[in-house]
Amino acid sequence: MARATPYDPVLIVAGSREARDLVDIVPGAVLVEDVPGRLDASAVIDASHPCERDIHARIVRLCAQSGLPLLRYARPGWTAVEGDDWRSVPDGTAARAALSPEWQRVFLCLGRAERVAFAHDPGRHYLVRTRRDDPATEAITDFTLTSKAGPFTGRSEADLMRAHRIDALVTRDAGGQGAYPKIEGARLAGVPVVLIARPPVACPVARNPGEVRAWLASL
């Protein structure tokens, strides 16, 4: 395993809201938006989005090749409460398969990579939340776009689902408060949720700054 030296920074891969907070607690940390081709570091903290698959897999591969210690930093996922009706699935393909035949109008809150699984589905109408510069027309047969710009509340999300007569919500287990209103909205509107679980993690995981400090002290 590579040894830390006074000249080797800890590389933090951004992508989550919490990534920049780590810079203040990790001495000499270097924050990068993209995974570099070469890891000039003493250790790596993957603070990309908690549901990100490809970036984490690439970081794991690079750290294994370089013999660098790797930590996954991710906020805790959501926990169901009374009134929630969730179906947990591993990926987008499983999420589409989990849609009940009577669910004809589906609220799709996913990135482009996951939306591909819902292409060529003439039997359903999809309400797709996306950015203005992303038309979300990747062969989804029947859809309506709704803006990704908030702020949202549980009540406003419930009102949106009722207005569009939504039968089910499909989203990822992002965790945190920023994306939670749609989960609360589904509960208020009595809408079931197909929740795509986070991908497996091939390294230690920290959920808070204290656990990050403990991991760094153990190196």
Please state, in angstroms and rounded to a whole number, the distance separating the CA atoms of residues 173 and 33: 22
Are 67 and 96 in a shared domain?
A: no
Please state, in angstroms and rounded to a whole number, the distance separating the CA atoms of residues 145 and 115: 13
pLDDT level of residue 1 (50, 70, 90 thresholds) = very low
In a domain, 81, yes or no: no
Please state, in angstroms and rounded to a whole number, the distance separating the CA atoms of residues 33 and 104: 38
**Mean pLDDT calculated for residue range 108-119:** 90
Count of C-beta atoms within a 10 Å radius of residue 60: 17
pTM for the model:
0.86
Query: CA torsion sign, 157 to 158 to 163 to 165?
Result: positive
pLDDT tens figures, 185-203: 999 999 999 999 999 998 9
Largest CA distance in the chain: 61
Are 178 and 208 in a shared domain?
A: no
Are 91 and 41 in a shared domain?
A: no
In a domain, 2, yes or no: no
Are 22 and 92 in a shared domain?
A: no
**Mean pLDDT calculated for residue range 86-101:** 96
In Å, how far from its chain's centre is CA 108? 14
CATH number of the structural domain spanning residue 178: 3.40.50.720
- Could you give the number of structural domains in the chain? 2
In a domain, 206, yes or no: yes
Side chain identity at 43, as an amino acid letter? A
Please state, in angstroms and rounded to a whole number, the distance separating the CA atoms of residues 30 and 91: 32
In a domain, 61, yes or no: yes
Enumerate the H helices of the chain as residue ranges: 19-23, 54-66, 92-97, 112-115, 154-163, 181-189, 209-218
pLDDT of residue 2: 40
Residue 166: closest CA among 138, 197, 143, 135: 143
pLDDT level of residue 5 (50, 70, 90 thresholds) = very low
Are 118 and 186 in a shared domain?
A: yes
Are 92 and 187 in a shared domain?
A: yes
Length of the chain: 219
pLDDT of residue 25: 85
pLDDT of residue 33: 87
* Gap between the terminal Cα atoms of the chain: 10
In a domain, 37, yes or no: yes
In a domain, 1, yes or no: no
The CA-atom distances, in angstroms, between 90 and each of 66, 74, 98, 168 are 30, 18, 11, 17
pLDDT tens figures, 200-211: 998 999 999 899
Are 56 and 99 in a shared domain?
A: no
Are 167 and 124 in a shared domain?
A: yes
In a domain, 56, yes or no: yes
**Mean pLDDT calculated for residue range 114-136:** 85
Are 48 and 135 in a shared domain?
A: no
pLDDT tens figures, 7-45: 478 999 998 888 888 888 888 898 998 888 888 899 999
Are 23 and 71 in a shared domain?
A: yes
pLDDT tens figures, 135-181: 666 788 899 999 888 789 999 999 999 999 999 999 999 999 989 99
Are 166 and 101 in a shared domain?
A: yes
Residue with tokens 């810079």: 23
**Relative orientation angle of helices 181-189 and 154-163, to the nearest 10 degrees:** 50
In a domain, 30, yes or no: yes
pLDDT of residue 136: 63
Expressed as residue numbers, the domain containing 114 is 86-196
Are 162 and 214 in a shared domain?
A: no
Please state, in angstroms and rounded to a whole number, the distance separating the CA atoms of residues 137 and 132: 12
pLDDT of residue 137: 66
